[in-house]
Amino acid sequence: MEIGTDNLLKGTLKKVFGYDTFRGTQEHIIQQVMDGRNTFVIMPTGAGKSLCYQLPAIVKDGTAIVISPLIALMKNQVDQMNAVGVNAKFLNSTLSKGEITKVKKETLAGEVKLLYVAPESLTKESNIDFLRQANISFVAVDEAHCISEWGHDFRPEYRRIKSIIKDLGDIPIVALTATATPKVQQDIKKNLEMEEAGVHKSSFNRTNLIYEVKPKKQAKKQLVKFVKEHKGESGIVYCLSRKKVEEIAEFLKVNGVNAAAYHAGMEANVRMKNQDGFLNEDIDVIVATIAFGMGIDKPDVRFVVHYDAPKSIEGYYQETGRAGRDGIMSKVIMFYSYNDILKLEKFNKDKSVTERENAKVLLEEVALYAESAVCRRKQLLHYFGEEWKVENCEACDNCLHARQRFESTDLVKKVIEAVQQTEERFDMNHLASLLVGKKTEHILSYSHDKLDAFGTGKDHDEHFWRSIIRQTLLNEFIKKDIENPGVFHLTQKGISFLVDPFKVEMVKDHEYETEGEEEEIEKETINTTAYDKTLYDMIKGLRKKVAKEKDLPPYVIFQEPSMEEMATLYPTTMDDLIKIVGVGESKARKFGKPFLTMIEKYVDENDIITASDVLVKSAGAKSKNKIFIIQQIDRQIDLEEIAETKDMKYEDLIKEIENICFAGTKLNLDYYIDHVLDDDRQDDIIDYFMTAETDNIKEAMEELGEYYSEDEVRLMRIKFMSEHAH
């Protein structure tokens, strides 16, 4: 490359992007693009992949076309480019006709340096006609793994890209992906007809990520505990479905986490508001669907949680890669249950046979990864064709905790012999069946029951042998066939091992129970029959004292169920107290301090281990009703109208409002009550509750029933508790 061009690139790098030097292989890649050569880039998310096409696009004459499947990512990158003075535009379904005309006009005038196009938009004849007239410098195919049926996000429209580019002329192509197995790499090069292209592959090792897989038991409780341990830090929680996204986001909010939902089914303005809130640090935790690429470039995401198992290792790797882009240590957690794998398999039932089979292989890889006790980093790197020689990465659950190891020289030998005797043509399940001596239809059809290897491993089950086969693969005694990823071949190491075996140790897989998975604490109250009687009496005594000081009836301070739960859970912080049934934030702040001081002293003196993390508030259907009712009351909607909208009886609505009030939310019903009762009649009922021993409605009606209806007394009790208890 000429010195002038080299200086121009470095000058633009500093001026536009603010960097003094290139990272890793960026400079070499950019030089190839500048020379007009086809280029293939495999670079983990966050390693500076976008710069590889953005910088040459700015420097070269004409407009670079960037094909991207994610509308959110397009917008994000266009905003970033525009913010640094580079004219970038996008062409997708979100634009109006007028906006599309404006984009095309600017492009044809040579004013646009980067034009982001959705693959669907690229196939429209009107857009192809327009691109024929434009001066295109090169085409960048982002997320190129979408070309391959073996990729984790196959999109048929990506298959048409090459024929469309050919139609536009002899234009160089830059293919970019963050995740590609050897098979996917081969598919990309073949489909884009760029077999001769230089492949630039960065290491897949994300050194600052700590990997962990947890059994999916009481997952909500585990999640809220983990998120609260990382209070104020940015994190992403991935879920399988839109419904689960909404549920988990609501659940986190109910438990005091600053969270928001993000999925493709939401209104675009709400989705963008939530994404911007996350990027601008107004929201700590974003809950998103696995299938929906968030298109975010936030460097300080400190944790990524997969609440449900991902569809593939590629997807998992890409999603976890959104954590710790600033190089600071960050955690990635997967809650694993084999039930999730079965659910995902059901989702694939309507796909073609090939797609279904491919998806099944990808899901099996996820299950094997989760259940394996081998170093997580070693497994991930091996999957992407990279060797990891280090024995202990010291940054995954399998390496940080002692693993049960066992001598397995003979087991490895049996696997290698099984692969050899079946002529290196079969997958893991076939080999496992062969080793345990199972006469499946497949085994019999190939006469494999006659082989010496048949039944040599009958002392163990198929699950055990799948683990051994996988570890034999990870230790490179066998390797995957690139053309048929489920099939195994022998390596030179494996062949030598049969001649001259040496000691090999393997680790025992994790055993995840299938019973009681995902059991959740779905009630806001818990069984409080076993409360601490001594502490309960102390709380009751203090309640009487506080009530006297404040000139209020004791039940206004805390009611019986609240005191029983306090004597069960021993809350010692304001956060703990807010979680107690019938307390809520305002009541906790108003009356809580002396009770917390007393409980803390009692806990210290009696050496009690508190159970402050036992109570996790649920965010079920009741919570959605609750939010709706509060919003309607804030808007001063008549109660009859609210009941009608929710298809409820009026009496049931009053009960729902009472529950909301007694759980700690202050409600102002004056707008409604003032129409029902005049001031004097209101004062009468308030006076009664002010001097009553209890707020029991039955007792109130015995005293007031001659003059007031039960509905009127209930409404006034809500008003009284809202004004005095919160």
Secondary structure string (H, E, C) spanning 633-651:
HHCCCCHHHHHHHCCCCHH
Enumerate the β-bridge partners of residue 492: none
Determine the pLDDT at residue 18: 85
Percent over 70 (pLDDT), the chain: 92
**Which domains are present in the chain?**
3-201 (3.40.50.300), 209-399 (3.40.50.300), 409-503 (1.10.10.10), 533-605 (1.10.150.80), 621-724 (1.10.10.1390)
pLDDT at 56: 96
pLDDT band at 631 (very low <50, low <70, confident <90, very high): confident
Round the average pLDDT of the chain to a whole number and report it.
86
Q: Does residue 326 surpass a pLDDT of 90?
A: no
Task: Show the beta-strand stretches assigned E in 73-208.
Answer: 88-91, 114-117, 136-141, 173-177, 198-201
- pLDDT(613) > 50: no
> Alpha-carbon distance 96 to 93, whole Å?
8
Among the residue ranges 214-228, 239-253, 282-296, 561-575, the one predicted with the least confidence is 282-296
Output the DSSP codes for 100-116.
HHHHHHHHHTT--SEEE
Indicate if the pLDDT at residue 596 is higher than 50.
yes
**Percent of all residues in the chain with a pLDDT value above 90, rounded to a whole number:** 39
Query: Is 80 exceeded by the pLDDT of residue 163?
Result: yes
Q: Let me know the angle formed at the C-alpha of 282 by 279 and 287, rounded to the nearest 5 degrees.
A: 70
CA distance linking residue 376 with residue 15, whole number of Å: 40
Per-residue DSSP letter, 15: I
- Do 93 and 118 contact (CB within 8 A), yes or no? yes
pLDDT at 334: 97
Is the pLDDT assigned to residue 527 strictly greater than 80? no
d(Cα 309, Cα 306) in Å, to the nearest integer?
6
DSSP H or E segment with residue 149: none
d(Cα 423, Cα 421) in Å, to the nearest integer? Answer: 5
pLDDT at 524: 37
**Strand duo 330-336 + 301-306: pairing:** parallel
* Res. 530 pLDDT band, cuts 50 70 90: low
What are the pLDDT digits (tens) for 106-142? 999 999 999 999 888 888 888 999 999 999 999 999 9
Amino acid 516: pLDDT: 42
Q: Tell me which of 216-220, 305-309, 576-580 is least confident.
A: 576-580
Q: Report the alpha-carbon distance of residue 357 to residue 541 in Å, rounded.
A: 68
Closest among 28, 377, 346 to 199, alpha carbons compared: 28
C-alpha distances (whole Å) from 106 to each of 55, 135, 193 are 20, 12, 31
- What is the rounded average pLDDT of the residues 176-192? 87
Q: Provide the pLDDT for residue 529.
A: 44
What phi, psi does 240 have (nearest 5°)? -75, -40
Q: Which residue carries 């280090």 as its tokens?
A: 390
State the Cα–Cα distance between residues 148 and 355, nearest whole angstrom: 11
Give the tokens for residue 627: 């939010």
More confident residue, 140 or 587: 140
DSSP character at residue 653: H
Q: Show the CA angle centred on residue 211, arms to residues 207 and 217, nearest 5°.
A: 170
Distances (CA, A) of 263 to 196, 220, 258, 259, 291: 39, 20, 17, 14, 9
Q: pLDDT-based confidence at 523, cuts 50/70/90?
A: very low
pLDDT tens string 336-358: 988 888 888 888 777 778 778 88
Contacts 24+ apart (CB under 8 A), 167-173: 167/128, 167/132, 168/128, 168/131, 168/132, 168/136, 169/136, 171/136, 171/138, 171/139, 172/33, 172/36, 172/37, 172/38, 172/39, 172/138, 172/139, 173/38, 173/39, 173/138, 173/139, 173/140, 173/141, 173/197
**3-class SS of residue 17:** helix
Instruction: Pick the most confident of 6-15, 192-201, 464-473, 656-665.
Output: 464-473
pLDDT score, position 60: 94
Q: What is the pLDDT of residue 4?
A: 57
| pTM confidence score | 0.64
Residue with the larger pLDDT of the pair 236 and 80? 236
Q: 330-336 and 405-407 as β-strands: parallel, antiparallel, unpaired?
A: unpaired
Side-chain half-sphere exposure of 407, counting CA atoms within 13 A: 4
Whether the pLDDT of residue 244 is over 70: the answer is yes
> What is the arithmetic mean of pLDDT over 368-393?
89
Highest-scoring range by mean pLDDT, 168-182, 300-314, 347-361, 597-611 = 300-314
> Per-residue pLDDT averaged across 255-261, rounded?
91
**For residues 665-669, average pLDDT:** 85
Span 579-608, average pLDDT: 84
The Cα diameter of the chain in Å comes to 101
pLDDT recorded at residue 520: 44
Higher pLDDT: 380 or 646? It is 380
**Which residue has tokens 């982002």?**
142
pLDDT of residue 295: 56
Q: Is the pLDDT of residue 612 over 70?
A: no
Residue 45 has pLDDT above 80, yes or no: no
| Tokens representing residue 556 in the block | 């206004």
Residue 611 has pLDDT above 80, yes or no: no
pLDDT in tens, 186-242: 889 999 989 888 788 888 899 999 999 999 988 888 898 899 889 889 999 999 889
pLDDT at 61: 94
- Distance of alpha carbon 645 from alpha carbon 594, whole angstroms: 43
